[in-house]
Chain A
Amino acid sequence: MAGTEEKTVKKVSTKPEIEESFLNEIREEVIARIQELLIKDEKIPEDIKEKVVQEINEKLPEIVAKRVEGVKEEIIKESINLAVTSRKELLALYRKKEKEKEKEEMFQRFNIHFRIQHMILFTSVIFLILTGLPLKFPGFSPVAFLVDVFGGIDNTRIIHRIAASLLVLFMIYHTLYTIFHHEGRRDFWLLLPRIKDIKDVIQNLKYFFGMTDEKPKFGRFSYVEKFDYWAVYWGCVIMIGSGILMWFEELSLKILPKFILDAAKEAHSDEALLATLAIVIWHFYNVHFNPDKFPGSLTWFHGKITKEEMIEHHLLEYEEIMRKRKQVTEERLNNNG
């Protein structure tokens, strides 16, 4: 911007053009004043008087042009100075706005299928826990009252089974999504544990103990998220498996001996406790009570995370996305060129 301005200034200075009307205005004034001055002096002859006026008249455009050029130069210099300072300010403002814009950019992390699956899952699990806990701790009044809330033991059992059906529905939905949706396939692949996860754990532990200031860099799924995913997988298999055995008890006892069903009951009860603790302590810390997220992240609802979070928690994925974008724009430019 500054360069183009300077160019125009030089162009102006090489071709000094003074408007005729402006020159005439000055000329009239000058001649009028000279004549006034010469009339008072009676010793000077008339023809010399005329010659002086003529000479002044001839030299006037030159004088004016010289002066105007100087003034113009000054005006331009001042304007350029002004432009330079305002350019800096404007640029800073512009950059700030750009940065804010970049900051506001949200990255779609979970698609609608994933979010609906999560909603089904948590609705189901909340009711499963609320209806299951009184059976696990029958003598513990802070949970035992829930049976009355649900309207007696028979209703509690019915609600538990409705919620269980939802969990099965979730599992079917997720399996189909994993098989048939390209994002599902991609995520499943990315969720598989890798050696990098162990390295990340070690790096994070080093960071926790202050041995390094460098946090581990995560891809689309950190080891924490992978753990959560596979914990749910494991939990669903155990809970649905043992649950179905108990739900269709008379049918399963046609094939299996009673002690297998007792073991299923034990597993169901124990895994339920583990899952509840993991959700209430671990998952709630990660998405609710964690100082970054308190009082809770809405990602489960809109599926988006900010660029800041993206860089903080999924740097490798962010870099990957940026690289792809660059590639796309370059390709477009090349195509246009």
Chain B
Amino acid sequence: MKFTHFLLLILILLMPSGLNATISIQKCMICHGKPGFKKVEESGKMKELYVNFSVLENSVHKKKVCTDCHADVVEIPHRHTPEKVKCIRCHYKGNPEGAPQSDKYLEYQKSVHGRESEKGNPKAPVCQECHGNHDIRHTKDALSRVSKLNVPKTCGRCHMDIYAQYVKSIHGKSLLVEHKQDAPSCTDCHGEHNILAPEESESTVNPVNVVKTCAHCHESVDIVGKYGIETTQVSLYEHSFHGIAVKYGSKKVANCASCHGTHNILPPEDPDSPVNINNIPKTCGKPECHPGANKNYAKGKIHVNPKSRESGVIYWTGLFFKYLTILTMMALVIHILLDLNRRSKEWREQKKKP
């Protein structure tokens, strides 16, 4: 008898502790599996408490059980409202749970969203606001809330007016209407977990960095080149006075967004585009830029390449000076070398003489 008791004890001890603590999904489903299960919150809002189990089964967390995330639920029925799920329980670098090994959570904490949330701003998003809760799917999954095509809508839940601008822009149309995967959604410019406010110097859309951000696509033959969009615009900008001044830290001069706009970017052919030939005087003539700009500002390319024959008089000026410089300097250097040569000859002859 004693031996069987001992064996039982060992069996109990060896039992996976989780099995003891975990409450099976079936048990949760007793209540949460009923469609229409909801409660009235203090604010008077109705809160849906029904969980569609098939949604969870199709998510990346299909192998998890309820209490893996709702860890504070230890008995059923639970007496208190469970706390908001904290994803960092699993999502950190070096986790043993099988979650992706990344420090995204730390990035988030530094972001404007993370900092606001830390401050207690109820509007600031935590993971679930963007990624969803039971329905979390892989980013590459088209049904994911953070898939390329769904990101604008996800961000737009809070940033509604910007979403309205974006959908009308060339970027928005290309992505949402034409489903061009190369077109940028919000995160391609603003970043994902590391989003910062545009005023912050490290923000990807800060005047200091925005050129680099646009250049990521607009300098790439693989991304924009194949659509027939010019890829030299960024480097030409960088060689213009505006670009050079930005490089030296000026915040007064125009960057890409100053002329092209931000969320409302349109191609120059569009009559509503600020860089449409008819709108250039107005765009350049902003009171803080070149007040009083007229049609002359539009006569000639803005992103002008002096090395291209199409640039006309600019090209010929450059060519003239190129050859003037080469020929002049060659003549001068040869003159110097010949002079030195003759001098050294004379010295040698003088040395020979006693």
Interfacial residues, chain A to chain B (CB-CB below 8 A): 134-135, 138-139, 144, 147, 152-154, 156, 205, 207-210, 249-250, 253-263, 265-267, 270-271, 273-274, 277-278, 281-282, 285, 290-291
Contact = CB atoms under 8 A, between A and B. Distances in A.
Nearest to A154: B250
A96 to B, nearest CB: 22
Contact of A259 (B244, B248, B252, B312): B312
Nearest to B248: A153
A134 B248 contact: yes
Contacts of B332: 278, 281-282
A33 to B, nearest CB: 67
Contacts of A261: 300
B293 to A, nearest CB: 7
29 contacts: A134-B248, A138-B239, A152-B248, A153-B248, A153-B249, A154-B252, A156-B248, A208-B342, A209-B338, A250-B292, A253-B290, A253-B296, A254-B292, A257-B296, A258-B298, A259-B301, A259-B312, A262-B306, A263-B314, A266-B306, A266-B321, A273-B325, A274-B321, A274-B325, A274-B329, A277-B329, A278-B328, A281-B333, A291-B343
A274 B249 contact: no
The residue among A208, A261, A271 with the most chain B CB atoms within 10 A of its own CB is: A208
Given A266-B306, A281-B333, A271 B292 contact: no
Which 7 residue pairs of A and B lie closest in terms of their CB atoms, listed nearest first? A259-B300, A270-B321, A257-B299, A258-B300, A208-B338, A153-B248, A282-B332
B338 A254 contact: no
Nearest to B243: A138
A265 B306 CA distance: 10
B50 interface: no
The residue among B250, B252, B296, B333 with the most chain A CB atoms within 10 A of its own CB is: B296
Contacts of A147: 248
B161 interface: no
Contacts of A274: 321, 324-325, 328-329
Interface in B252-295: 252, 290-294
B307 to A, nearest CB: 10
B: interface residue count bin: 35 or more
A253 B340 CA distance: 49
B304 interface: yes
Contacts of B321: 266-267, 270-271, 274
A257 B311 CA distance: 13
Contact of A267 (B248, B298, B317): B317
B336 to A, nearest CB: 5
B313 A208 contact: no
Contact of B336 (A205, A256, A257, A281): A281
- Secondary structure at the A interface, as helix, strand, loop or mixed, is helix
A249 B296 CA distance: 11
Contacts of A262: 300, 304, 306, 311, 314
Contacts of A135: 241, 244
Contacts of B313: 259-260, 263
Nearest to B318: A266
Nearest to B325: A274
B245 A259 contact: no
B297 A253 contact: yes
B54 interface: no
Given A138-B248, A147-B248, A291-B340, 7 more contacts: A253-B297, A259-B301, A263-B317, A266-B306, A266-B318, A273-B325, A282-B336
A135 to B, nearest CB: 6
B13 to A, nearest CB: 68
Nearest to A285: B336
B78 interface: no
B141 to A, nearest CB: 42
A267 B322 CA distance: 10
A32 to B, nearest CB: 70
Given A208-B339, A282-B336, A285-B336, A270 B318 contact: yes
Interface string B332-354: 11001011111101000000000
B167 to A, nearest CB: 33
B247 interface: yes
Contact of B291 (A250, A260, A273): A250
B143 to A, nearest CB: 45
Contacts of A258: 296-300, 302
Contacts of A210: 342, 345
Contacts of B324: 270, 274
B297 A259 contact: no
A282 B296 CA distance: 40
Nearest to A291: B343
A277 B304 CA distance: 26
A259 B314 contact: yes
Nearest to A271: B321
A207 B342 contact: yes
B294 A266 contact: no
Contacts of B292: 250, 254
A267 B247 CA distance: 22
Given A207-B342, A253-B293, A253-B296, A266 B244 contact: no
Contact of B304 (A144, A208, A259): A259
Contacts of A153: 245, 248-250
Given A258-B298, A262-B314, A277 B248 contact: no
A256 B296 contact: yes
Contacts of B302: 258
B333 A257 contact: no
B322 A270 contact: yes
Contacts of A260: 300, 313
A209 to B, nearest CB: 8
Contacts of A255: 296
